[in-house]
Amino acid sequence: MTLAVTRVLAPNPSAATLEGTNTWIVGEGPTIVIDPGPAIDEHLEEVARAAGRVAHVLVTHDHEDHAAGAVTFARLVGANVTAWRLPEAAKLRDGQGFAAGGVELIAMHTPGHSADHVVFSDAGSGALFTGDAVLGRGTSFIDAPDGDLAKYLASLRRMLEREPRTIYPGHGSVVLDAKAKLREYLDHRAERESQILAGLAAGDRTVDDLVERIYAEHPPDVQELAARSVTAHLLKLETEGRAAKAGPAAERTWTIVEPKACARCGRPVKGRARYCGSCSLALLQGDAAGSA
């Protein structure tokens, strides 16, 4: 199935947005508009001209470069705007469908880049509109506490299970081999985690130390985003009981921790728990049975 898709590029280029934010217009007469983008009047007017009659305005997440112009644009074209947590928008649900112009897009909650992130898929064409979860070039950054790397990895795997063919990202060019890109993202995160563990093992103790080691060949303007990415990995490792932090935020240091074994079955235990999830449940059920 051929899907009618038009891109309107917002005039907001930067290190974080690449050439700018992609606004996607899907279907024909009426259309579905995904991520109207920043609140730049000229951009919103250009999207309105390209979109024609609009049935739905959808937002992948509430970051300013994707969502700031959404409510204004929806009023401009006389359509409703739907998002996970954007004020003045209808509440989006996981699995919700949006039909118009010969296409039906299905929403899938994909937290990780942000807690409210959603992607939209079209089963007929294999299209996946990924917002900031997957980019056309480079990788998405995870900014704690709203971002969560463990959830992000789960979201990437969930997208891969959809067997997508083409990715229409929030930034960068269209990706023609969606599954290869998703696997690349998963492999990249696994490699980065290995680099961070190697840095900690070599004596690096701060985020800055790790950034200096891992991103030595990268330009200075990505150092801030690199620090956020390293922090997200360290927080994931902490949750898994594989790293520990010490000291206040401004002087925080990190060290490797050997994962603990479950006191009942010997399997690895996350965090400070004494038992793994299965054994904790079994013990609770046993206690409940004994007290019945």
pLDDT in tens, 66-79: 999 999 999 999 99
Residue with more model confidence, 259 or 36: 36
The identity of residue 103, as a single letter, is V
Please give the pLDDT value at position 282: 85
Q: 224 and 119, same structural domain?
A: no
Q: 246 and 223, same structural domain?
A: yes
287: confidence class by pLDDT, cuts 50, 70, 90? low
Please tell me the distance from the alpha carbon of residue 259 to that of residue 276, in angstroms, as a whole number: 12
Instruction: Report angle CA 168, 28, 164 to the nearest 5 degrees.
Output: 30
What pLDDT, in 10s, does the model give residues 207-260?
Answer: 999 999 999 888 887 888 889 899 999 999 998 889 999 999 888 999 999 877
Least trusted range by pLDDT, from 13-27, 33-47, 266-280: 266-280
The identity of residue 50, as a single letter, is A
Q: Is residue 139 part of a domain?
A: yes
What pLDDT, in 10s, does the model give residues 88-147?
Answer: 999 999 999 999 988 999 999 999 999 999 999 998 999 999 999 999 999 998 988 899
**What letter does residue 35 receive in the DSSP assignment?**
-
Spell out where 46-189 has E strands.
54-58, 80-83, 90-91, 97-100, 103-109, 118-122, 127-131, 166-169
Name the range with the highest mean pLDDT among 10-19, 167-176, 274-283.
167-176
Backbone angles phi, psi at 118, to 5 degrees: -135, 140
Torsion of CA 32, 37, 40, 45, to 10 degrees: -10
Residue with more model confidence, 53 or 280: 53
Least trusted range by pLDDT, from 5-19, 26-40, 168-182, 278-292: 278-292
Q: Which two tokens stand for residue 203?
A: 């004596």
Q: 22 and 167, same structural domain?
A: yes
Q: Is residue 88 part of a domain?
A: yes
Residue 34 has pLDDT above 90, yes or no: yes
Q: 77 and 30, same structural domain?
A: yes
The strand pairing partners of 100, in sequence order, are: 103
Please tell me the distance from the alpha carbon of residue 8 to that of residue 19, in angstroms, as a whole number: 12
Q: 75 and 150, same structural domain?
A: yes
Tokens 């490797």 belong to 256
Residue 290 has pLDDT above 60, yes or no: no
Spell out where the chain has E strands.
5-9, 22-26, 31-34, 54-58, 80-83, 90-91, 97-100, 103-109, 118-122, 127-131, 166-169, 243-246, 253-256, 260-261, 268-269
Please tell me the distance from the alpha carbon of residue 43 to that of residue 23, in angstroms, as a whole number: 9
Q: Is residue 75 part of a domain?
A: yes
Q: Which of 253, 217, 211, 204 lies closest to 229, judged by CA?
A: 211
Q: Is residue 182 part of a domain?
A: no
Q: 168 and 243, same structural domain?
A: no
SS3 state at 71: helix
Q: 76 and 24, same structural domain?
A: yes
Residue 125: CB atoms within 10 Å: 17
Q: 39 and 106, same structural domain?
A: yes
pTM (predicted TM-score): 0.87
Q: 165 and 36, same structural domain?
A: yes
What is the average pLDDT score of the chain?
Answer: 92
The strand pairing partners of 121, in sequence order, are: 106, 128
Q: 139 and 279, same structural domain?
A: no
Please tell me the distance from the alpha carbon of residue 286 to that of residue 190, in angstroms, as a whole number: 38
- How many domains, in total, are found in the chain? 3
Q: Which two tokens stand for residue 269?
A: 């235990």
Q: Write the CATH number for 96.
A: 3.60.15.10
- Domain end, chosen from 176, 201, 228, is at 176
Domain that holds residue 196: 189-256
Q: Write the CATH number for 220.
A: 1.10.10.10
Q: Are 222 and 15 in contact (CB under 8 A)?
A: yes
